[in-house]
């Protein structure tokens, strides 16, 4: 399934400066009003998380599901404060997500 030229498999590309730049071009589905940073807002697809968001913008640990942007969940991949994603990659993704949010004027 493809939406706006994106597919869930597009999330698997390596994080490079070019892929981070492309991530800033991400567009939500036409009827979607979800804010990927807060996780709030109307989702026309009714999915708990956007299946099309680029990996570089996804603030959720792929191992344990800990949401770095909103401090939700308990990092099961090492315990609170030990999740390597939350300590390293997560903050970079949150910063990029904030830049995306400003660029797209998300409410």
Number of domains forming the structure of the chain: 1
> What pLDDT is recorded for position 6?
42
**What is the C-alpha to C-alpha distance for residues 36 and 94, in angstroms, rounded to an integer?**
10
Residue 83, domain member (yes or no): yes
pLDDT bin (cut points 50, 70, 90) of residue 81 is low
> What pLDDT is recorded for position 98?
92
Residue 8, domain member (yes or no): no
Residue 70, domain member (yes or no): yes
**What is the C-alpha to C-alpha distance for residues 47 and 50, in angstroms, rounded to an integer?**
6
Rg (CA), the chain: 13
Residue 3, domain member (yes or no): no
Structure tokens at 103: 């660029």
> What pLDDT is recorded for position 80?
54
Kindly report the pTM of this predicted structure. 0.74
Domain that holds residue 21: 15-104
């Amino acid at each position: 399934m493809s939406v706006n030229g994106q597919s869930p498999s597009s999330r698997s590309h390596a994080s490079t400066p070019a892929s981070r730049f492309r991530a800033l071009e991400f567009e939500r589905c036409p009827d979607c009003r979800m804010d990927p940073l807060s996780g709030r807002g109307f989702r026309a697809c009714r999915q708990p998380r956007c299946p099309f968001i680029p990996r570089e913008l996804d603030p959720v640990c792929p191992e344990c599901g800990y949401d770095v942007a909103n401090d939700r969940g308990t990092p099961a991949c090492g315990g609170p404060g030990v999740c390597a994603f939350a300590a390293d990659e997560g903050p970079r993704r949150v910063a990029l997500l904030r830049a995306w949010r400003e660029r797209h004027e998300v409410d």
